[in-house]
């Protein structure tokens, strides 16, 4: 087991009092507790006023981040509104440990935090006991509610959680509309006072299934920037048995309140004592780069539940996939242009083998695609029956011969009951055919009918899937799942999710994908975990195929390479068709070489909605890879290579936007050159509008 708490003094928990906690009981019975971060930049204040109303507030270097914000619950069973509390006891501890992720952006992660644990009881008549645990890190805070074992409450139902995030100003906010079924919206940037989620969500026509939240609501991770330069991110960690938290917006007082995804009868969560909620998280810094390098969400998740993780290996893959999206072939067999046929899949296997890829994803291999979409039908796929032109036995042998694996595709079309019934058989079928990775999909309305993608039932399904897949030593990449909350620490075989608008939306008929969106994703969606963004599209005019719509990929060529660095994932697809790579093999070399697992990561430059430049050190080597992207605005950047080992010489290969490159007018223009660099090199780089750059760096021997 790699994910572990080290032993010895490092892991020691020390009970502290005075140094960390200020505890006062002033006049009028008000109680106030304060706790600071290890570096003392953050101060958490928890208050219980004379009426018993509980609130918390957060300051960063003396500036208000979260103003007093109330906490409370409504229970549907036992029926009770809990909004006033009595403090029974409190404890402060500190912890400083390190642990090694199975895969990731860095080899080792430090978890240094101070903790405040409050034992509370309802004073409104129910006597329900609720505990509250705060952890204050240098880069933010997390807090969760805990329901201890108690005589008067065993099974219980959450009707509502009232967790407020009362912001100190009308911050610039990067948001997508609150929706219980999809997170595939394009990011909007407005002040909090300008958030109009319903209008934006109703105008959206690229998304298959929506459940727009009434009123005004947004999704997390929610990224903000204050007028005086504070970067603030609200999300949650360790969502394992609870619904997704969305946020209702009070645009006049700049306040967000938790809005939990309901089940078909309007309940939010069914729990049993003892149990806990996910952590509510707030990241803060005056440097945007700290938000991207934060490991707080991972630190708030449980260590790996998989003891032997040897079989979990990052994967690079291509797929019989984009050709269906652009209309060259189809998923279904009946319409006569079936892409997943034996001969075509062999071509992909050849390509993967030739270029050292691990896998070939094959979509549309199995019966059911004739009526998979939009019918809310329970039995569509059985996950084990190939179409007649897909010779699975021959392809299994062929792939094995060529040293690559076929990646399974389980599109459920939202019929999750059907998938769960067949899952053992489906995973066994994969093992029998030498497959160890699956892409799952949840396009459509969920069955059990009335459930949402973001509800507690589906949260549990995603965890069950990761657990069951682990039993079969299978790695999972989930599409249309709820957005991640760091659970990949606990289930490191759940590699990545889509759970946002990815590269495939370049083909969407209306709004598609913007360069700006891609500079926001690392500050929002990726805060919770890796994304299957599917970079590496090399052919930008998509109406070259049979499609009537004139969709284009909004990018430059160099930027498609940069995305392998700026969108971290242990699983990366080269999204395009082999024939589209053929004319650009020199550029493709970067995709061939780019690693998926890292010993170190340096965020060099970052501003949400504008630009991101990241350097990463390949696991187990002295090689570095750098990627940078910009929004619709061309920018000049200087890359300081002071992260390299002093006194050593490195060979760098540069993939830069050409001098006239532009995502709209000249996207293919790219300069490739080799140069020698050292830790003292400062390299000026120009990023074209909608463009970027990539650099691979190898130690000279």
3 binds ligand NOJ (CB under 6 A): no
Residue 145 binds which entry of Ca ion, ligand NOJ, none, CB below 5-8 Å type-dependent:
none
443 binds ligand NOJ (CB under 6 A): yes
Q: How many CB atoms lie within 10 A of CB 638?
A: 11
Residue 113 binds which entry of Ca ion, ligand NOJ, none, CB below 5-8 Å type-dependent:
none
Q: What is the number of the residue whose Cβ is closest to Ca ion?
A: 479
451 vs 504 by CB, closer to ligand NOJ: 504
Q: Quick one: which of 122, 323, 411, 599 contacts ligand NOJ (CB under 6 A)? A: 411
Cβ 500 to Ca ion, closest distance in Å?
9
329 binds ligand NOJ (CB under 6 A): no
Q: Which residue has the tokens 């509370």?
A: 120
Q: Of 38, 37, 55, which Cα lies nearest the Cα of 46? A: 55
Going by the DSSP 8-state scheme, the letter that residue 321 receives in this structure is T
> What is the rounded CA–CA span in Å between residue 18 and residue 277?
29
504 is a catalytic site residue:
yes
Q: Is 394 left (phi over 0), alpha (psi -120 to 50) or beta?
A: alpha
Q: What angle in degrees, to the nearest 10, is found between the helix axes of 585-593 and 557-566? A: 0
H helices of 55-213, in order, are 197-203
Q: Which 476-495 residues touch ligand NOJ, going by CB under 6 A?
A: 479
Cβ 373 to ligand NOJ, closest distance in Å?
9
442 binds ligand NOJ (CB under 6 A): no
Cβ 460 to ligand NOJ, closest distance in Å?
22
| Interface with ligand NOJ: number of residues (CB under 6 A) | 8
332 binds ligand NOJ (CB under 6 A): no
What binding mask, one character per residue, do residues 267-306 give for ligand NOJ by CB under 6 A, x or -?
Answer: ----------------------------------------
Tokens (6 digits) for 611: 């630009």
441 binds ligand NOJ (CB under 6 A): yes
User: For the chain, first and last CA: distance in Å?
Assistant: 34
398 binds ligand NOJ (CB under 6 A): no
Give 300-314 as a 3 state SS string: CCCCCCCCCCCCCCC
Cα torsion angle, 300, 305, 310, 311, sign: negative
CA 481, 487, 488, 491: dihedral to nearest 10 degrees?
Answer: -100
What binding mask, one character per residue, do residues 425-464 give for Ca ion by CB under 5 A, x or -?
Answer: ----------------------------------------
281 vs 503 by CB, closer to Ca ion: 503
Cβ 584 to ligand NOJ, closest distance in Å?
23
331 vs 351 by CB, closer to Ca ion: 331
Q: Quick one: which of 138, 181, 188, 498 contacts ligand NOJ (CB under 6 A)? A: 498
Cis, bond preceding 78 (omega within 30 deg of 0): yes
Q: Which 467-526 residues touch Ca ion, going by CB under 5 A?
A: 479, 498
CA 496, 499, 503, 505: dihedral to nearest 10 degrees?
Answer: 150
Phi, psi of 392 (to 5 degrees): -65, -35
456 vs 534 by CB, closer to Ca ion: 534
Residue 411 binds which entry of Ca ion, ligand NOJ, none, CB below 5-8 Å type-dependent:
ligand NOJ
Q: Quick one: which of 504, 576, 599, 657 contacts ligand NOJ (CB under 6 A)? A: 504
**Cα–Cα distances in Å, from 386 out to 324, 365, 395, 515, 689?**
17, 6, 12, 38, 45
Burial class (CB in 10 A: 0-12, 13-18, 19+), 444: buried
Q: Quick one: which of 75, 85, 137, 321 contacts ligand NOJ (CB under 6 A)? A: 321
3-state secondary structure of 650: strand
Cβ 504 to ligand NOJ, closest distance in Å?
5
Residue 535 binds which entry of ligand NOJ, Ca ion, none, CB below 5-8 Å type-dependent:
none
Residue 363 binds which entry of ligand NOJ, Ca ion, none, CB below 5-8 Å type-dependent:
ligand NOJ
363 binds ligand NOJ (CB under 6 A): yes
| 33 neighbors 46 (Cβ within 8 angstroms) | yes
| 326 neighbors 315 (Cβ within 8 angstroms) | no
256 vs 321 by CB, closer to ligand NOJ: 321
246 vs 479 by CB, closer to Ca ion: 479
Catalytic option among 504, 586, 610, 700: 504
> What is the rounded CA–CA span in Å between residue 578 and residue 392?
21
> What is the rounded CA–CA span in Å between residue 227 and residue 224?
10
Beta strands, E only, 21-154? 21-24, 31-36, 42-48, 54-60, 63-77, 79-82, 85-99, 109-122, 129-137, 140-147
631 binds ligand NOJ (CB under 6 A): no
97 vs 477 by CB, closer to Ca ion: 477
Cα torsion angle, 672, 676, 679, 684, sign: negative
Cβ 369 to ligand NOJ, closest distance in Å?
9
Residue 321 binds which entry of Ca ion, ligand NOJ, none, CB below 5-8 Å type-dependent:
ligand NOJ
Cis, bond preceding 164 (omega within 30 deg of 0): no
72 vs 575 by CB, closer to ligand NOJ: 575
208 vs 634 by CB, closer to Ca ion: 208
> What is the rounded CA–CA span in Å between residue 578 and residue 536?
11
Residues in contact with ligand NOJ by CB under 6 A are 321, 363, 411, 441, 443, 479, 498, 504
Residues in contact with Ca ion by CB under 5 A are 479, 498
Name the residues annotated as catalytic: 504
């Amino acid at each position: 087991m790699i994910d572990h708490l080290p032993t010895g003094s490092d892991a020691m928990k020390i009970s502290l009092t005075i140094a960390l906690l200020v505890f006062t009981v002033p006049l009028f019975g008000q109680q106030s507790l304060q706790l600071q971060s290890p570096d003392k930049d953050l101060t958490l204040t928890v208050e219980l006023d004379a009426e018993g109303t509980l609130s918390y507030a957060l300051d960063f270097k003396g500036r208000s981040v979260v103003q007093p914000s109330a906490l409370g619950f409504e229970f549907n069973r036992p029926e009770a509104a809990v909004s006033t509390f009595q403090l029974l006891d409190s404890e402060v501890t500190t912890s400083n440990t390190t642990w090694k992720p199975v895969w990731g952006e860095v080899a080792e992660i430090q978890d240094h935090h101070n903790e405040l644990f409050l034992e509370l009881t309802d004073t409104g008549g129910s006597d329900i006991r609720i505990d509250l645990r705060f952890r204050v890190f240098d880069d933010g805070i997390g807090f969760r509610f805990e329901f201890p074992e108690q005589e008067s409450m065993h099974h219980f139902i959450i009707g509502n959680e009232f967790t407020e995030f009362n912001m100190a100003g009308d911050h610039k906010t990067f948001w997508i509309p609150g929706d219980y079924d999809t997170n595939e919206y394009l990011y909007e940037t407005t002040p909090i006072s300008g958030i109009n989620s319903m209008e934006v969500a109703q105008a959206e026509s690229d998304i298959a299934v929506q459940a727009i939240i009434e009123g005004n609501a947004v999704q997390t991770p929610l990224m903000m920037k204050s007028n005086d330069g504070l970067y603030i991110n609200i999300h949650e960690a360790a969502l394992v048995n609870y619904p997704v938290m969305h946020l209702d917006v009070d645009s006049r007082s700049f306040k967000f309140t938790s809005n939990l995804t309901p089940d078909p009868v309007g309940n939010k969560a069914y729990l049993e004592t003892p149990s806990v909620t996910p952590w509510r998280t707030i990241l803060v810094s005056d440097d945007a780069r700290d938000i991207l390098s934060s490991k707080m969400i991972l630190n708030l998740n449980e260590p790996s539940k998989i003891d032997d993780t040897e079989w979990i290996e990052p994967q690079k893959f291509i797929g019989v996939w984009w050709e269906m999206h652009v209309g060259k072939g189809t998923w279904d067999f009946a319409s006569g242009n079936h892409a997943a046929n034996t001969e075509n899949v062999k071509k992909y296997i050849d390509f993967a083998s030739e270029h050292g890829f691990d896998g070939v994803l094959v979509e549309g291999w199995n019966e059911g695609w004739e009526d998979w979409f939009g019918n809310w039908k329970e039995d569509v796929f059985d996950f084990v029956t190939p179409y007649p032109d897909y010779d699975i036995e021959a392809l299994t042998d062929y792939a094995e011969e060529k040293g690559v694996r076929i990646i399974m595709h389980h599109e459920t079309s939202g019929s999750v009951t059907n998938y769960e019934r067949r899952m053992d058989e489906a995973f066994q079928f994969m093992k029998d055919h030498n497959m160890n990775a699956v892409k799952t999909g949840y396009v459509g309305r969920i069955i059990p009918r009335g459930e949402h993608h973001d509800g507690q039932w589906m949260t549990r399904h995603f965890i069950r899937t990761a657990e069951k897949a682990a039993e079969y030593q299978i790695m999972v990449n989930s599409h249309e799942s709820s957005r991640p909350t760091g659970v990949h620490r606990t289930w490191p075989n759940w590699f990545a999710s889509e759970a946002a608008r990815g590269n495939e939306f370049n083909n969407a008929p209306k709004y598609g994908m913007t360069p700006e969106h891609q500079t926001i994703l690392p500050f929002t969606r990726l805060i919770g975990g890796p994304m299957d963004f599917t970079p590496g599209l090399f052919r930008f005019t998509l109406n070259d195929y049979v499609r009537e719509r004139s969709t284009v990929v909004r990018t430059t060529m160099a930027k498609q390479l940069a995305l392998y660095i700026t969108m971290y994932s242990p699983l990366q697809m080269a999204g395009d068709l082999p024939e589209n790579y053929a004319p650009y093999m020199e550029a493709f070399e970067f995709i061939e070489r780019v690693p998926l697992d890292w010993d170190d990561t340096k965020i060099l430059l970052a501003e949400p909605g504008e630009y991101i430049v990241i350097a990463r050190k390949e696991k187990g080597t002295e090689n570095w890879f750098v990627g940078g992207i910009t929004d619709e605005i061309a920018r000049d950047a200087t890359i300081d290579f002071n992260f390299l080992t002093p006194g050593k010489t490195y060979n760098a290969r540069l993939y830069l936007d050409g001098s006239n490159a532009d995502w709209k007018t000249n996207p293919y223009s790219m300069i490739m050159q080799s140069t020698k660099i050292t830790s003292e090199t400062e390299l000026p780089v120009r990023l074209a509008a909608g463009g970027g750059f990539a650099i691979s760096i190898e130690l000279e021997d």
